[in-house]
Structure 1
Amino acid sequence: MLTIDCERKFLNLELKGLSAEGRFSGYASLFGEPDLGKDVIERGAFSRSLSSRGVAGIRMLFQHDPASPLGHWVTLKEDARGLYVEGQFAPGVSKADEVRRLMKARALDGLSIGFQTVRSKRDAKTGIRHILEADLWEISVVTFPMLPSARVSEVKEMSGGAMLAAKLRHAAAVMRG
């Protein structure tokens, strides 16, 4: 049996909205921010993996359990802030419905990336490992994210007007720092 060491890093998820249909969006990774394991994902670390695997090649799981798929990723892209994701829970899947309800209730709010390090460098002074390239396999919805600040910023079912207002509030908060 072939075993592959896959790293698990619990990282930030900021849900911008959770629709009745089970769509959500946020960040699975933030660039330049050290996690509790002293790892920092650097900008561009996922670009080759996203290009070669594509959105269909990255799984959406619950708690990294390959027996608990939740749906599929609609969008995975690196932007200036991190790895932006948009996901769709699978209809008729009881675990996906449970996770959607927990997100809406603000009881579940983290994402974790499952990857294999391709290239990294360690800062001898700080001990921080900088991940320069990562082969991304999956992104899981998790209970405990690796970053202490990894919490859902907003989860609600929104109309178009409410969604726009929430996006403007979020943008203003980001600009304030």
Structure 2
Amino acid sequence: MMGPGSALGKDKLMPPYLSYMDFPFEIHIKAVGPDQAETGKFEGYASVFDDVPDDYGDIIVPGAFKKTLAAGGRNGNGIVMLWQHWTDAIPGVWDKMTEDSKGLFGEGRLLQDTQLGHDTYVLVREGAVKGLSIGFDLPRLKPVKKNARGDPDPAAFDVVEERRYLKELILWETSLVSFPAKVNAGVTGVKDA
């Protein structure tokens, strides 16, 4: 499936100043009767707290999402659901996102009355797409020079043995993606009704 902005190129649609972390998910489909419409609902962990770094060497620690969730995400309007981090490809909405002891848990709906939402739902339901990824920024808590990696403020993270332990994030979006970078997080269910 090509997203709406595929011809433009991924680099023009993914903000270069954001960081991304990808996670896989599992599909568990609930059986329904023929008279019940598919709702496109799914749930799972967009991020998990553990000691396993992602492909970028980052580890998110408990508490990292609390401020951004309380603020309603980057703009205060909630966390956006994207397809493959493409800013012009919105397949659905996140109804609820919370941080618990395991990680960042989300409940979302793929919008069946849009072509992208319907196509994405079919791909997720059939197991063709198995990844979730978060797009985030680090807070600029005080003015400091950025390091070579572009990290804005060491107060937002700790570096131990060349690993960043992220303590606070500004969450922009959570995407459904094809190629996850972390292997131990996931959607816990897809609901047909």
State the TM-score bracket (shorter-chain normalisation).
0.7 to 0.9
CA deviations on 1:33-80 (whole Å, 9 max, x unpaired) are 311111001101011000011684210000000110011111100011
What are the residue-to-residue correspondences of 1:11-160 with 2, within 5 Å?
Answer: 11-15=23-27, 17=29, 20-32=38-50, 33-53=52-72, 56-118=77-139, 119-123=156-160, 125=161, 127-149=162-184, 155=190, 157=192
The residue aligned with 1:7 is 19
Superposed structure 1 runs of 4+ greater than 6 Å apart = none
Larger radius of gyration: 2
Closer, same or farther: CA 153–77 of 1 in aligned 2, 3 Å: closer
Q: Which of 1 and 2 has higher RCO (CA within 8 Å, sep 6+)? A: 2
Segments of 5+ residues of structure 2 without an aligned counterpart are 1-14, 31-36, 140-155
- The answer to whether the 8 Å contact 1:17/1:25 transfers is no
Segments of 5+ residues of structure 1 without an aligned counterpart are 159-177
Aligned positions, number: 154
Given the two structures, how large is their TM-score scaled by the length of structure 1? 0.78
Higher strand share: 1
What SS does the aligned partner of 2:71 have? helix
Superposition CA RMSD, Å:
2.3
CA distance in 2, matches of 1:112, 1:51: 20
Question: Aligned letter for 1:136?
Answer: L
- The answer to whether the 8 Å contact 2:41/2:192 transfers is no
- The answer to whether the 8 Å contact 1:59/1:138 transfers is yes
Given the two structures, how large is their TM-score scaled by the length of structure 2? 0.72
